[in-house]
Amino acid sequence: MTHLRTDDVVDLTCDLIDIPSVSGDEKAIADAIEEALRGASHLEVLRDGDAIVARTNLGRSQRVIIAGHIDTVPISGNVPHVREETDGVERVRGRGSVDMLGGVAGALYAALKLNEPKHDVTWVFYDHEEVAAPLNGLGRVYRNHPDWIDGQFAILGEPTNAQIEGGCNGTVRVIATVSGVAAHSARAWRGDNAIHKVAPIIEKIAMFGNPVVNVDGLDFRESLSVTRIDGGIANNVIPDSVRLTVNYRFAPSMSPADAIAHIESYFDGVDALFEIDDESEGARPGADSVLAQEFIETARRVMAQEGEDLSVSAKVGWTDVARFSALGIPAINCGPGDPLQAHTQDEAVPVSQLRHYTKILIEYMGAASSISEERN
């Protein structure tokens, strides 16, 4: 088992990257995180599969949940980590550095150091985020142990450049199958080309663009895309079937059911069969709660101390804040790393953002006097 270096958040990030944790293969990293947490006497540590939950039980009136997923997309020659400096900026490069082992490292470091937080805290490190929603570790933990995921405010450490992003778009993925009639391509008129039948539908979907929808004061940009086409059996046969995969990233003011109906409306007049391949509700911005406002002000103060501004904007894309929102728990995204680098081969997190994010968590949850000086 890898013994994590927990005295410094940058070293900790490097250690986490060096443990391969592609979705479905998170046991080794979960074991290492659990071992580190069980060394902290102020935490109750629980486990469900490869999801680790650690929480304080100090009897505080409010509880904050701080969460992050421990899995990554497949490795592509980018493990182990590399520490580098370019243009005066020090970075840690490697799979998961941005999405989102940097955020996990910041949360794990804070969990170990904060033994007297001003709010009770539940720290959640979960598996299977980078795959289909039914496999999601956070959802599984809630289904199996709803009392483990209980609080008044949640912070998800997804990459935001250490800024704050409220809410997230929802997402649905629909597979539409349209039938035709097969024929020899030399006698095409004797068949009914299924691929040709969907061409006008694809054109209409392409015209959707990227409309902006304002929800609770933040602007969410939508997208509707055909992401896959499957059809045809041979080069000289008119295709008698085609499958279109359509992905709709919709503003959190819309329900998944309405989003699915919107996709299906593009097939009006065409005999199509629909399969719902993925369905996740969006999350309205959670930035108006008292605990969220307290977090925003802490983040603004820390960033100002570092000579930087803080922005609060809508999250582009779907994240697990939607799961908290569905439970009635206001939630925001805040974590180190540029989200545009997520899943790229050269993803790299700036060291400064790792330190800023960790400092925000520690100052938000407790005064310096409550920070444990123990070395783990």
- Ranges of CATH 3.40.630.10 domains, the chain: 9-168+283-370
129 and 306 Cβ atoms separated by less than 8 Å: no
* Alpha carbon distance 63, 147 (integer Å): 12
Annotated active-site residue 278? The verdict is no
Which tokens belong to 181? 């009639």
CATH number (3.30.70.360, 3.65.10.10, 3.40.50.300, 1.10.275.10) of 170-279 reads: 3.30.70.360
Q: How confident is the model at residue 319 (pLDDT cuts 50, 70, 90)?
A: confident
Q: What is the pLDDT of residue 373?
A: 41
d(CA 126, CA 26): 9
pLDDT tens for 167-183 read: 899 999 999 999 999 99
**Residue of 34, 71, 165, 222 marked catalytic:** 71
pLDDT of residue 182: 97
Q: What percent of the chain has pLDDT over 70?
A: 97
Mean pLDDT of 203-216: 95
pTM of the model: 0.83
- The whole-number average pLDDT for the span 337-351 is 96
Please report the pLDDT score of residue 70 as a whole number.
98
Among the listed ranges 16-25, 228-237, 285-294, which one has the minimum average pLDDT value?
285-294
Distances (CA, A) of 154 to 9, 84, 303: 21, 33, 20
Q: Is 71 a catalytic residue?
A: yes
Residue 203 CB coordination number (10 Å): 9
In this prediction, residue 226 carries a pLDDT of 98
pLDDT digits (tens, 9 = 90+) for 30-49: 999 999 999 999 999 999 99
**Span 252-304, pLDDT tens digits:** 999 999 999 999 999 999 999 999 999 989 998 888 889 999 999 999 999 99
Residue 249's pLDDT band, with cuts at 50, 70 and 90, is: very high
Among 34, 50, 120, 129, the one annotated catalytic: 129
CATH 3.30.70.360 domain residues, the chain:
170-279
User: Do 248 and 171 form a contact (C-beta atoms < 8 A)?
Assistant: yes
- What architecture (CATH level 2) is domain 9-168+283-370? 3-Layer(aba) Sandwich (3.40)
The span from the CA of 312 to the CA of 6, in Å, is 30
Q: What is the pLDDT of residues 117-126, one digit of tens each?
A: 999 999 999 9
What are φ and ψ of residue 97, in 5° steps? -60, -40
Are 124 and 66 in contact by the 8 Å Cβ rule? The answer is yes
pLDDT at 248 over 50: yes
